[in-house]
Structures are given as structure tokens and as C-alpha cells.
Chains A and B, each alone.
Chain A
Amino acid sequence: MRRRLFLVETAAVLAAVVSLPRSLGAANSMRPAVDHIINIADFVFNPANPKVRVGDRVTWINKDIVPHTATAKDRSWDTGALAPNQRHTITVKAGMTQSYFCHYHPSMIANLDLD
């Protein structure tokens, strides 16, 4: 009887330990979506490599005097042309292409660091 009780208790502890990381993971995935701002100024995306998660919203704001875009390297997503002072928001999706550039000025490159 005591042996059976010991086994049941051990199994319960093990189950709790095994499920702990899952619980933490669930808590992480349940965190509210975060808004990220990327300024485009002086022909630079700033920040150039923000950490983002699925569900977050990323907004590009063009602060230069000429139009820019934020365009995925494989062109799977695109803000379209952003006139001076214009902004565009994209929601981060699982597996989305992280590297992007300005279609008009391809030397401008940046990255979304998808967690």
C-alpha cells in the first residue's frame, strides 16, 4: 500500500515537472501583442533588427523627404510606397520572411528578428 502511494506521488511530481515548461511556454505565447515602431530616417531602418513575435504589430514610419518601402526579400509582404510622414503596419505571422529592404533604395536592408 505504502509502495503504491509512493509510486502515485512520484508520478504526480514527474507529471508536474514535465508540464512546467509547457505551462511557461503557454504563458509566453499568451503575452499580449506588442507594437513595434521602425523609423525610416536618413536612409536607415531604425531599429534595424528588432525582436518580434507572432501576433506583434510592426509599424514603419517614413521620416525622410523621399518615398521608401519595406519589402520582404522574397517580396512575400510589402508596405507599399510610404510617402514622407506616412506609416504602414504589418502583423507578424509565423514563418514570415524576416529580411527586408527598400524597393526604391536596395542598399537599405534590415531584418525582423522573429522569436
Chain B
Amino acid sequence: MKLSTMAALVGITFSALMGIAQANDPSKLNDLQIAHVAYTADNIDIRYAHLALAISSNPRIHEFAKTMIRDHTLVNQKALALLKKLNASPQDNFLSRQLTKNSKVLVDEMSKLRGAAFDKRYAGNELAYHKAVNGLVANAFIPNIENAEVKALFKTGLKIFKAHEKHAEMMVKRLK
């Protein structure tokens, strides 16, 4: 994928998230709503990864997808354990619903692709998705989370997802 295409893709994804922000401000979400968004975003990436394992025959794509499933599942388990400890439940909200809606469109689109076309689309989306979500976590969530333990988990999660972003970047370059 060309750099300009990638930039446009990232721009569209980020604008989509920021478009939501204009109507509903992510920085105004409470801790339990933020936890719900993160849990949803993790599950969406796991869904993309399962799709990649089913469609792609590229070993690098498979390795990446397995890492996404492994890491996002572990982060979600940590989040659920923390919420249980805090005797709290994640709260559904506009951003979680929007992310889910967008992901369904993308899964439908990617499901129709095969071979290199799928691999490039999957890798490009992983890069754009991690960039967009990492921006959201760093700028809108972490500064506004009130509970110290929840904030610490998000800081840990951000380090993991930044590593995923770098991995996705390497994958996109290899697929050019």
C-alpha cells in the first residue's frame, strides 16, 4: 500500500473516531464506559484476527493474527478481573456501539477479499486501527480515567498496543 493511501486510511479511521467525538465526546466517558470501549475494541481486533486466520495463507499474517488473539484476550482477562475486584461492570455507550457498527462493515468487506488483496487490507487496517485506538487511549482515556488501577491497566495496555502498531507497520512494509 502506498504511503499516501495509508495516510488517507489512517485519516479516515481517525476522522471516523473524531467524528463520533464531535457528537459525543470520548473524553467525557466515565471509567466503566471507557472499560467497555476497550473491551469492545479488543474483541473487534480478535474478530479481525480470526478472519485473517481463516482467509490468509501468509505465515506472517498468521503469526500476527495469533499474537493479536493472544495479547488482546489476556488484556481483556486482566480488565474483567479488575472490574470484578472493583465490583463493577463495564457500561455500554455510543463509542462502543459505533466501533462495533464500523467493524461489521469492515468484516463484510474483508470477507470478500482473497490472497494478497486480503493480506494488504488486513495489515493496512491493523495499522490504522491501532493508530486510531492508541491515539484515543493516550489522549482521551488515560488523562480522564479516575481510578488508579484502571488507569495503570490502560497504561500497560497502551504499551502493548503500541508494539502491535509497530508490528503492523513492519507487516505493511513487507507486503508492499
Judge: A and B partners, yes or no: yes
Chain A interface residues toward B at CB < 8 A = 42-43, 64-67, 103-108
- In the complex the two chains form, is B74's CB within 8 Å of A66's CB? yes
Q: Provide the residues of chain A in CB contact with B160, threshold 8 Å.
A: 43, 64-66
Question: For A64, what are the chain B residues with a Cβ–Cβ distance below 8 Å?
Answer: 160
Residue of A nearest to B171 (CB): A106
Please tell me which one of the listed residues B70, B78, B156, B163 contacts residue A108 in the complex, with CB atoms under 8 A apart: B163
Residue tally, chain B, CB below 8 Å to A: 16
17 A/B residue pairs, CB under 8 Å, sorted by A: A42-B159, A43-B160, A43-B163, A64-B160, A65-B74, A65-B75, A65-B78, A65-B160, A66-B70, A66-B160, A104-B63, A104-B70, A104-B71, A105-B167, A106-B170, A107-B163, A107-B166
B53-88 contacts to A, CB under 8 A, are 63, 67, 70-71, 74-75, 78
Contact with A along B137-176 (1 / 0, CB 8 A): 0000000000000000000100110111011001000000
Chain B residues with CB under 8 Å of A66's CB are 70-71, 74-75, 160
Interface residues of chain B: helix, strand, loop or mixed (majority): helix
Looking at chain A's contact residues, the main secondary structure is loop
Question: In the complex, which of the residues B74, B78, B163, B164 has the most CB atoms of chain A within 10 Å of its own CB atom?
Answer: B163
Inter-chain contacts of B166 with A (CB < 8 A) = 107
Instruction: Tell me the complex Cα distance, A8–B163, Å.
Output: 69
Contact check, B156 vs A105: say whether CB atoms are below 8 A apart. Answer: no
